[in-house]
Structure 1
Amino acid sequence: MSSLLKAAILASALLSPLAVAAQTLVVDNVTIAATEDTVAPAIANVSTGSNATAELFTSEAGQLTTEVLTNLTDLQLSDIDLFTFNTGNETSVVTRSNCASGSCKVYPGDALYPSKFVWNVFSLLVGRGALIKTVPIAAPCYTNWGVQDADRCSVVLNNWTNDSYMHADDPTSVMWPLYEGLTCMPTDTPSANCSIGGYPSYAVAVTNVAQIQLAVNFARNANLRLVVKNTGHDFNGKSAGAGALSIWTHNLKQVKFYSKLTQDKYTGMAFKIGTGVQAYELYAAANANNVTVVGGEGRSVGVMGGYILGGGHSPLSSLYGTASDQVLAMEVVLPNGQFVTASNSSNPDLFWALRGGGGSTFGVVTSVTVKARPRMSVSVATFSISTGATVSADLFWQGISVYLKYLPVFTDAGTYSYFSIFNLGGGAYAFGMSPFFAPTLSNTQLKALLAPFLAEIAALNIPVTGLTYYAYDNFYDAWWAHFPLETIGSTNIKTASRLFPRANFQPATGNATLFNQTVGAIRSTVEQGATVLAFNIAANPSSGYPDSAVNPAWRKTVLHAIQAIAWAEGSSDEVAAAACLKLTNEWMGEWRATCPEAGAYMSEADILEPNFQQSFYGTSNYNRLYAFKQKVDPWGLFYAPTGVGSEDWYVTGQIDGLPTQNGRLCRL
C-alpha cells in the first residue's frame, strides 16, 4: 500500500471517530495496525549542548526531530500533518476550527475530534504509559466509573483539603475545584454521579521534550484545547479545561548545582532546575549544597512552573526581588513545536515575556537556570493580638494600624511577614503573626527591629500573646519549621488580592488620609466577614532588578493582601455566584479605591478581576506581551483564564460570577 493511501486512510479515521477500533483500521479489506510493533516512540537523542551555558538535562536531549517524523513507522505518518511541526502553511487547523464546532476548539463528540485510532497512535508515539485517559481523582468514591474503591475513596476524602501532594501527584486534579465545576467531589454516597466536567480528557505524563513537542503539535494541528499542569496550585484552576489535552510536567525533577556558572553578564553560583521540582525538593537541594535559592513559601508548589512564570513572591523577596528576577535562562517548547533556549542573549523577547508574563501562554518551559545565593542565618518571631476583656474592637484596630505603618520599615530591613486577621463573630477579632521571617538577621537584630512596634502596642495596653523568637543557621530549617502545608480544595470559598503600595502606609512622612483610608478599607471588609491573609513583602531590592514582564506594581508594594469570602456548603450556584460578585465588586472595590493604579499578584488573585490586563501585568507590559503573544502563538494554542490573550476567548455555559472551565473553549 502506498504511503499516500495510508495517509488518506489515517486522515479519514480522524474524520470518522465512530468507525474505527482503537488499534486497527480496516479499509477495503486492508488492515492498518497501530501497535508497538508498528509505531515506535517518536524520540531522538540529540546533543546536550544548549544556547545557554548550562547543558541540557537528559530529559531535554530526548527530542522530536524532522528526521524522526520522516521515518516514523510503516504507517508513514510523515504524510499527514497531525504530529508535525508548524510549516507556516497549515490549513488543517483552520478547517477544523471553522467546521462543526464553529470557532471553537474541537470537543469530544465532534465529528472532527480525533478518533480512538488516532489517540492510540499518539499514545504509541509518546511512549508506553505516557498518555493517561482521565479518571477524576475522586472517581473511586463512585460506582459509575467502574473504579470504585472504598479504601482509596477514604484516602481522597480524608485528605482532600489538607494534602496538596495528593493533588499534585494526580495528572489532572486541581487544588481549587470550584473552577473545574465541582463535578466529581469526594463523597460517601457512591450512587451519586461523577463526571469529568472541567478536567482535561487526556494528559501526557511528560518525561522528555519529545513528548511535549508531540502534544503541542497534535493539539495545534488537530485544534484541540491544550492546558499545562505542573502541580495545580494556581488559585484560579488554570490547568483545568473541558475536553483538553493536558501536558503534565510534574515528573521533570532533575536538579544540577553549579558552583560557578557564567551566563551572559552573570558569573556565580547557580542551579539548573526541572519544572517539576517542588519547593521542598529545591530547598533541600540548596541546603545540601550549602546555598540558598529564591522560591515560594508553599511546600508543594512547583517553583519552576507557573509560580516563577507569574513572577513568584518569596520569603527572600525583600532582599532579592521576585523569583523571576533570579532567572538566567530557560528551555522552552514553543507553540510551533520547536525547542529553544530563552536568555538575554538567545530569544531575548521570549525571555522577557516568560519572566512574569504568566504560565500556559508562550510555551512549555522544561527547565530554568537561576542564581543561587549564599547560605544565610534566619531569625523568626511569632505573636498574636486579639480583642478581649480589656481590648475593644476599636482598640484592636488601633493596634492593627500601628503594625501597618511599620510595613515599609520592616521590608527595608529585608524581612517577610505572613499574618492573618480573622472576624471571630460577635465583635471579636484576632491577628496572628506566623511567621515574622527575618533572613540574615540575628535574634538581637530582630528584637531591635520589632522593639518600636511592640512599644507602641504596649502603650495602647494591648497584650501581645505568644511572642516567641527562633534562630536558625540556614534558610531551609527556618522555612520548614514555619511554613506548613496550607488548606486547599475548598468548594465554598473565593479569594481575591491586592498589591498595596508603600505610599499607602506612610502616615508620618506621606499621606495620613490615604493611610487611614487603607486601614479603614481593610477593617470594613473584615467587619463584613472577610478573612484576610497577607504578606508584608517588597520586591524592589537595593541591588536593582532586571527588565522583565514582572508586574510593575510589585516594585512599589509592601503588602500583598488576600481576602476571602465564604458561603454555606451545599449552596446553589446562584448563591455562590452572588457571593463571588460581592467579593469582586464590593469588598475588593473598597481595596482598589485606595490604590487604583496598583495591581494584584496573578497567581493568587480574583479570576473576575476587572481590567486584569492592568492589574496583573501593568498596561505598558500588557500591550507588549499581547503583541508578542500574537507573534509567537497566532493559533491561540495556549489559553489560561486571565492569561495574556485570554480576552479573545470564552468558555461556553458559564454562570455570571461563577466562571469554570467546564465548557467548550471558543473564540470571541
Structure 2
Amino acid sequence: MAYTSLANIPADKWMALNTSVGGRLHADGVPFSRPCFTSYELNFSNETKCTARQRDYLSEAYRVDTFGSAMNPQWETCQATSQGCLMDWMNPANSDAFASPKICHQGSVSRYYIDVLSPSDVAAAFDFARVTGARIVIKNTGHDYKGRSYAPDSLSLWTHNLQQISYDPTFVPAQCTDTAMTPGLTVGAGVVFGKIYDYAEQNGITFVGGTDRTVGASGGWVQGGGHSLLSNTLGLGVDRALEFKIVTPNGDFLTVNACQNQDLFFALRGGGGGTFGVVMETTFRVEPRPISLRVAKITFPTTSDNWKAVIDIGVKNALKWSEEAWSGIMGSGMVLFTNPNLSLDEASASFQPFADFASSVNGTLVIEDSPTWLTFFNKYITGNPILSQPVGLPGTPASRLVPKRHFENTASQAALKDAILSGTLPAQFKQVLISCPVNYVPPTGATPEASDTSITEAWRSCLWSVVAGTFWNYATDAAGVQASYAKSTEAIRPLKELTPDGGAYSNEANVYEGDHTREFWGSNYPRLLSIKQKYDPEGLLDCWHCGT
C-alpha cells in the first residue's frame, strides 16, 4: 500500500476523525526526551518535564505511561536517517546530548494518535486510513525489540488505556457450548503483567506470564508466542489463550476462539502482533490456585571463565533439568531457576552442580520455597538489574531456539557449547532462557482447533532460547548503529549455523533475521499469509517482519 503524508490530509478529514472517536485524536505525540531540547521541529523545551525525564530515563514504570516513549529508544528515531531525540542513558543530565545546536527530531514517533477506548475507535481509524492513505501503527507499552509499534509519519492506535480485568472461574468461550468450563482471566489490551499478577494474588489464582511487569499480556507477547518461567509444565501464552476480541481492518469487531473465526484464532496465537487487526481484550486460562515454587539462585563474579563454566554446567544438565520441570534464566553473574514439582530437598540435590560452582568462585547460593508466583516475582525479578530487560538503552537482541537433540550426547554437547560461547562471549548482553514448554500437555479433551497454534514448530522441540545483544548511545552515528546490528547478528550466527532445525522467537529475534518467515513460523507461514490476505487484503497493517 502506498501511504500518504499526514501533512497532505485535509483538515476536515482530521476533524471528522476526531469527532468519530469522541475527541480522543491527539496531535501532540512527541519523543520521550523532547522537553529537554531547546531546538525542536515544533515545540520548545520544558524545564520541569525535562527534570522528570532525566530522573526516570531508565524507568520502565515511568516510560510505560508516556505515549512517545519506546523502552529501547532507538525506535523513536527514523531508521532511514538516524534522526531522533535521544539523551545519554549513561548520564541523562549530560547536556551534550540535548543542548543547542542539537535538534530533537520527530523521528518515528507518531505525531497523531488515538487514545483507543472502544472498537468503534479502531474501526474509524481503519476507515480513515482506507480513505486517506494514512499509515496505521499499533502501540501499547513501548516494549518492542523490533520497532513494529513505530513508523515515521503515521497514525498510531494507542491501546494502553484498555485496562479492564475480570476473573470467571467457569468461563466458556462464546458459542463453545460443548466445551468444559475453564477458569479464565479476561484482560484489556493495555493490562500489563504487574497488574495481572497483583490481581491474581488477590484472587488466589496463577497467571502464566513473562518476567517484566510492564509488558502487556494481549499484544505482541501472546501474539508472538509468549514464554514464561512457568512454561515448562503450563505452556506458552499461545497455549493458554482461550478467546480474543479483535477489530479487523475491514472494521468488524469479532469474537475469536476455537468455535468461531477459527482461522484468526490460529493466527493470533503466534502469527505476530500488529498484523491481523487490533486486539481489544484476551481471555487466558489460569490455574485456579496459587502455585508454589522451589527457587534456586546463585550469583558469581562476572568473568569470561565463569560464563564458560555456567554454559558447561547448563548444557551437561539440560536434559535432566528439563525433565524435572526446571525453568530459569542464566545470565552474566546470576543463575535463577524455578520448579513447581520437586520438593525442597529434591530441588537442592538437583541444583547441586550450580551450588558447587558458586562455592568454588566465592559466589552466593539461595534455595528456598516461594508460596506463590507473585512472592517469587517480587523478591527475585522486580528491580533485578541482571534479569530485567534493559530500558532507556538503544539496543538490539538476536536469539535462537535450541532443539533438544543438541543436548543428547557428548559430541553434540561440545559442539553446542562452542557455538554458544563463540558468539556470546564478546556480546554486551547475554542470557539463556530456559522456558520451552518441554512437559506441557494440552488440557484433556482439547479440540484440534483449541490446540493448534501458529508459532514455529521449534518451540515444541526446544530446551533453550539463547539471547545475545548489543547496545549503543545517543552519539552513535548511522554507521555505528549498523555495526551494532551486525554484532548482534554475529553473536547468534554460530548457533544458527549449528541448529538448522531450530528457529527464533519473533519477539526477541534479530532485526535482520534471515528467512524470518521460516524462523518464526516454520510450516505455518503459508497458512498465515492466506489469513492475512483474507482479513487485510488492502495491507492497512504492515510492519517489519510482520509476515507480509
Q: In 2, distance between residues paired with 1:567 and 1:147?
A: 27
**One-letter code aligned to 1:591:** L
Residues 612-655 of structure 1: per-residue CA shift (max 9 Å, x gap): 1111111x11111011111111111111211110xxxxxxxxxx
Give, in angstroms, the shift of residue 490 of structure 1: 4.7
By how many angstroms is 1:468 displaced?
1.0
Give 2:37's match in structure 1, choosing from 138, 142, 148. 142
1:405 is the counterpart of 2:316? yes
1:617 aligned to 518, 521, 539, which one? 521
- The 1:413–1:178 alpha-carbon spacing in structure 2 relative to 1, beyond 3 Å, is same
User: Which of residues 592, 609, 617 is equivalent to 2:496?
Assistant: 592
State the match for 1:240 in structure 2: 150
Provide the residue aligned with 1:534 in structure 2: 432
- Of residues 139, 145, 158 in structure 1, which corresponds to 2:55? 158
Q: Greater RCO between the two (CA within 8 Å, min separation 6)? A: 2
Counterpart selection for 2:337 from 423, 432, 436: 436
Cα separation, 2, equivalents of 1:636 and 1:364: 14
Q: What residue in structure 2 maps to residue 329 of structure 1?
A: 243
Does 1:299 pair with 2:232?
A: no
What code does the residue aligned with 2:496 have?
R
Paired residue type of 2:421: R
Gap change, CA 1:405 and 1:221, over 3 Å in 2: farther
What is residue 453 of structure 2 aligned with on the other side?
Answer: 548
CA distance in 2, matches of 1:383, 1:324: 31
Query: Is the 8 Å Cα contact of residues 17 and 25 (structure 2) preserved in structure 1?
Result: no
CA distance in 2, matches of 1:123, 1:414: 52
For residues 385-404 of structure 1, what are the structure 2 equivalents within 5 Å? 385-386=300-301, 397-398=308-309, 400-404=311-315
Q: Residue 108 of structure 2 corresponds to which residue in structure 1?
A: 198
Deviation at 1:130, TM superposition (A): 4.4
Judge conservation of contact 1:176–1:490 (CA < 8 Å) in 2: yes
Distance 2:507 2:49 in 1: 31
Check conservation: 1:177, 1:237, Cα contact below 8 A: no
Q: Taking structure 1 as reference, are residues 134 and 371 closer, same or farther at Cα in structure 2, changes over 3 Å only? A: same
2:114, 2:346 → 1: CA distance? 50
Pairwise CA distance, 1:414: 2.2
Amino acid at match of 2:538: W
Deviation at 1:571, TM superposition (A): 2.8
RMSD over aligned CA atoms reads 2.2
> CA, structure 1 residues 396+269, in 2 after alignment: closer, same or farther (shift >3 Å)?
closer
Q: Does 1:565 align with 2:448?
A: no
Instruction: Name which of structure 1's ranges 291-300 and 526-535 shifts more when overlaid on structure 2.
Output: 526-535
> In 2 relative to 1, CA 257–221 (structure 1 residues): closer, same or farther, beyond 3 Å?
same
How far the C-alpha of 1:446 sits from its partner, in A, is: 1.7
Q: Report the CA distance between 1:491 and its aligned residue.
A: 4.6
Specify which of 265, 268, 271 is matched with residue 357 of structure 1.
Answer: 271
AA matched with 1:436? F
How many residues were matched structurally?
Answer: 516
Of 486-495 and 607-616, deviating more is 486-495
- Seen in structure 2, the aligned counterparts of structure 1 residues 201 and 454 have a Cα distance that, compared at 3 Å, is same
Cα 1:569–1:128 change in 2 (3 A) is closer
Q: Is 1:497 aligned with 2:407?
A: no
Q: What is the Cα deviation at residue 487 of structure 1?
A: 4.8
Distance 1:439 1:139, change over 3 A: same
Counterpart of 2:526 in structure 1: which amino acid? Answer: N
Query: Which residue identity lines up with residue 445 of structure 1 in the other structure?
Result: E
Question: Tell me, which stretches of 5 or more residues in structure 2 are unaligned?
Answer: 78-82, 88-93, 444-450
8 Å Cα contact 1:141-1:153 kept in structure 2: yes
Q: 1:542 to 1:487 in 2, by over 3 A?
A: closer
Amino acid at match of 1:384: T
Question: 1: distance between equivalents of 2:12 and 2:302?
Answer: 66
SS in 2 for 1:227: strand
For residue 602 of structure 1, what is the aligned residue in structure 2? 506
Q: Give the superposition deviation at 1:387.
A: 7.7
Tell me the distance in 1 between the aligned counterparts of 2:390 and 2:371.
31
Structure 1 residues 274 and 513, CA gap change in structure 2 (3 angstroms): same
- Give the distance between the partners of 2:227 and 2:270, measured in 1 at CA: 11
Deviation at 1:453, TM superposition (A): 5.4
2:19 paired residue among 109, 124, 140: 124
C-alpha displacement of 1:407: 1.9
Q: Decide whether the 8 Å contact of 1:385 with 1:462 is kept in 2.
A: no
Alpha-carbon distance change, 386 to 114 in structure 1, aligned in 2, over 3 angstroms:
same
Matches within 5 A, 1:115-514: 115-143=10-38, 144=40, 145-161=42-58, 163-181=59-77, 183-186=84-87, 188=95, 189-191=98-100, 192-263=102-173, 264=176, 265-373=179-287, 374-386=289-301, 397-398=308-309, 400-421=311-332, 431-433=333-335, 435-451=336-352, 454=355, 457=357, 462-463=360-361, 465-485=363-383, 486-507=388-409, 512-514=410-412
> Aligned partners of 2:379, 2:317: CA distance in 1, in Å?
25
More displaced stretch, 182-191 vs 310-319 = 182-191
Equivalent positions of 1:623-634 (< 5 A) are 623-634=526-537
Deviations 1:90-109 (A, max 9, x none): xxxxxxxxxxxxx6211134
Q: Does 1:108 find its partner at 2:6?
A: yes
Distance 1:260 1:252 in 2: 23
In 2, the alpha carbon distance for the partners of 1:474 and 1:396 equals 30
Structure-2 change in CA distance of 1:617 and 1:219 (3 Å): same
8 Å Cα contact 2:292/2:370 also seen in 1: yes
Hey, what's the Cα distance between the residues in 2 that align with 1:304 and 1:339? 16
**1:493, CA displacement in angstroms?**
3.0
CA distance in 1, matches of 2:498, 2:70: 33
Amino acid of the structure 1 residue aligned with 2:506 = M
Distance 1:571 1:634 in 2: 39
How much does 1:451 deviate? 2.9
1:413, distance to aligned residue in structure 2 (A) = 2.2
CA deviation after TM superposition for structure 1 residue 259, in Å: 1.7
CA distance in 1, matches of 2:457, 2:354: 29
* Counterpart secondary structure, 1:299: coil
CA drift of 1:441 comes to 4.0
**Are the structure 2 counterparts of residues 268 and 443 from structure 1 closer, same or farther at C-alpha, using a change threshold of 3 Å?**
same
Change (3 A) 1:640 1:396: closer
- Report the Cα distance in structure 2 between the residues aligned to 1:254 and 1:387, rounded to whole angstroms: 42
Structure 2 residue identity aligned to 1:631: K
- Aligned equivalents of 2:52 and 2:510: distance in 1? 30
Q: Distance in 2 between matches of 1:395 and 1:288?
A: 40
- State whether residues 198 and 240 of structure 1, in contact with CA within 8 Å, keep that contact through their aligned partners in structure 2: yes
CA shift at 1:347, angstroms? 0.4
Amino acid at match of 1:498: R
Shift of 1:200: 1.4
Asked whether the equivalents of residues 411 and 537 of structure 1 are also in contact (C-alpha less than 8 Å), the reply is no
Whether contact under 8 Å (1:529, 1:565) holds in the other structure is yes
Instruction: Report % sequence identity.
Output: 28
- Matches of 1:295 and 1:339, distance apart in 2: 26
Residue deviations 1:41-81 (CA, integer Å, cap 9, x gap): xxxxxxxxxxxxxxxxxxxxxxxxxxxxxxxxxxxxxxxxx
1:96-138 Cα deviation digits (max 9, x unpaired): xxxxxxx6211134xxx32222212211221134434312222
Give the CA deviation at 1:473. 1.4
